[in-house]
Chains A and B, each alone.
Chain A
Amino acid sequence: MVSILIVDDDKFLHKVLERILMIGGHQVVDHAYDGAEALKKFIQLNPKPDIILMDHRMPVMNGTTATRKLLQMDQTAIIIFISADDSVYDEAIDAGAKGFLTKPIRSANLFEALKQYSE
Chain B
Amino acid sequence: MDNIRLFIDYFEGTNDLIHCVLPDGSFEFVNKSWLETLGYSDIEATRIGLKDIIFKGHLEHHLNLIDTVFQGKTCSNIEVTFKTNTGDVVYCEGNLFPQRDGQEITAVQGFFRNVTEQKIADNELQEAEARTNFFVDLMVHDLTNIFQELLSTLEIFELVSDFPVHLKEYVNEGLTEIERATHLIGNVRKITRLSAKKTELELFDLAEAVSSASAKVESSFPEKQIVLSSTLVPDKYAVVADEFLDDIFYSLFHNSVKYNTANEVHIEVYHELVKFTPFIRIHVKDHGPGISEEEKEGIFVRISHRRESIMGLGLGLTIVNQLIGNYGGYITISDTVEGDHTKGTTFTIILQCVQPSQVDQVEQTDQSTQLSQADQAAEIAKAAQAARAAQKEKAEKEIE
Interface positions of A (Cβ within 8 A of B): 10, 12-13, 16-17, 19-20, 23, 57, 84-85, 87, 103-107
Task: List B contacts of A87 (CB < 8 A).
Answer: 193
Task: List A contacts of B149 (CB < 8 A).
Answer: 10, 12-13, 16
For chain B, residues 144 to 182, give those with C-beta under 8 angstroms from any C-beta of chain A: 144-145, 147-149, 151-153, 155-156, 159-160, 178, 182
Evaluate contact between B148 and A106: CB separation under 8 angstroms.
no
B100 within 8 A of A: no
27 contacts between A and B (CB under 8 A): A10-B145, A10-B149, A12-B149, A13-B145, A13-B152, A16-B152, A16-B153, A17-B152, A20-B155, A20-B156, A23-B156, A23-B159, A23-B160, A57-B141, A84-B140, A84-B145, A84-B148, A85-B137, A103-B144, A103-B145, A103-B147, A104-B147, A104-B148, A104-B151, A104-B182, A107-B155, A107-B159
Q: Which residue of A lies closest to B154 (CB)?
A: A16
Task: List A contacts of B152 (CB < 8 A).
Answer: 13, 16-17, 19-20, 104, 107
Evaluate contact between A104 and B178: CB separation under 8 angstroms.
yes
Shortest distance from the beta carbon of A87 to any chain B beta carbon, whole Å: 8
How far is it, in angstroms, between the C-alpha of A103 and the C-alpha of B148 when the chains are bound? 6
With contact pairs A23-B160, A104-B178, A107-B159 given, residues A84 and B141 touching in the complex (Cβ less than 8 Å): yes
Evaluate contact between A105 and B159: CB separation under 8 angstroms.
no
Task: List A contacts of B153 (CB < 8 A).
Answer: 16
12 further contact pairs, Cβ within 8 A, besides A23-B160, A84-B140, A84-B144: A10-B149, A12-B149, A16-B153, A16-B156, A20-B152, A23-B159, A84-B141, A84-B145, A85-B137, A85-B141, A104-B144, A104-B152
Task: List B contacts of A105 (CB < 8 A).
Answer: 148
Task: List A contacts of B193 (CB < 8 A).
Answer: 87
Q: Which residue of A lies closest to B152 (CB)?
A: A16
Task: List A contacts of B156 (CB < 8 A).
Answer: 16, 19-20, 23
Shortest distance from the beta carbon of B183 to any chain A beta carbon, whole Å: 11
How far is it, in angstroms, between the C-alpha of A87 and the C-alpha of B156 when the chains are bound? 29
- Taking each of A16, A19, A105, which has the highest tally of chain B beta carbons within 10 Å of its own beta carbon? A16
Q: Which residue of A lies closest to B160 (CB)?
A: A23
How far is it, in angstroms, between the C-alpha of A87 and the C-alpha of B147 when the chains are bound? 18
Residue A106 contacts which of B141, B151, B160 (CB distance < 8 angstroms)? B151
For chain B, residues 316 to 375, give those with C-beta under 8 angstroms from any C-beta of chain A: none
- Taking each of B141, B144, B148, B156, which has the highest tally of chain A beta carbons within 10 Å of its own beta carbon? B148
Against A, the Cβ 8 Å flags (1 = close, 0 = not) of B202-228 are 000000000000000000000000000
Q: Which residue of B lies closest to A8 (CB)?
A: B145
Q: Which residue of B lies closest to A104 (CB)?
A: B148
How far is it, in angstroms, between the C-alpha of A84 and the C-alpha of B148 when the chains are bound? 9
Shortest distance from the beta carbon of B90 to any chain A beta carbon, whole Å: 39
Task: List B contacts of A17 (CB < 8 A).
Answer: 152
Shortest distance from the beta carbon of A24 to any chain B beta carbon, whole Å: 8
For chain B, residues 175 to 200, give those with C-beta under 8 angstroms from any C-beta of chain A: 178, 182, 193
Task: List B contacts of A57 (CB < 8 A).
Answer: 141
Shortest distance from the beta carbon of B179 to any chain A beta carbon, whole Å: 8
